[in-house]
Amino acid sequence: EPEVTQTPSHQVTQMGQEVILRCVPISNHLYFYWYRQILGQKVEFLVSFYNNEISEKSEIFDDQFSVERPDGSNFTLKIRSTKLEDSAMYFCASSRGGQPQHFGDGTRLSIL
């Protein structure tokens, strides 16, 4: 069964540095998402992406965040100037629209 893949599995970054989290969605899916889960808290929606543009974003997704689909397979989340509170598990998901979302294994981001 096809899967969403995310790299790296764990990223350690100094505060203030930029970080890029990478995702390869399932190939015939058209909707892409990023969620995050701060340790001990619930999974929170960040952004959805469809037809090469953001379709919805949460209040968490401020100007330090951006998403991109640089080619036909990758979907990236960039955090420009990381803060301590950005430490979390970041999940990528994809769907065909109207169908359930499939999640990746997540990237654990640790900001020092």
Partner 1 sequence: AQRVTQPEKLLSVFKGAPVELKCNYSYSGSPELFWYVQYSRQRLQLLLRHISRESIKGFTADLNKGETSFHLKKPFAQEEDSAMYYCAFKNNFGNEKLTFGTGTRLTIIP
- Nearest distance from C-beta of residue 85 to partner 1, angstroms: 19
Q: Say if CB 21 and CB 76 are below 8 A apart.
A: yes
- Quote the least distance from Cβ 14 to partner 1, whole Å: 26
- The whole-angstrom separation of Cα 111 and Cα 14 is 6
Residue 103 near partner 1 by CB under 8 A: yes
d(CA 31, CA 51): 8
> Closest by alpha carbon to 5, among 107, 87, 108, 77?
107
Which of the stretches 17-25, 65-73, 78-86, 99-107 binds partner 1 when contact is defined by CB under 8 A? 99-107
43 binds partner 1 (CB under 8 A): yes
89 and 61 Cβ atoms separated by less than 8 Å: no
Encoded tokens for 103: 């999640």
List the one residue from 65, 91, 107, 111 that touches partner 1 (CB under 8 A).
91
Which of 19, 23, 26, 35 is the binder for partner 1 (CB under 8 A)? 35
Binding site for partner 1 (CB under 8 A): 4, 31, 33, 35, 41-45, 48, 50, 55-56, 58, 91, 95, 97, 100-106
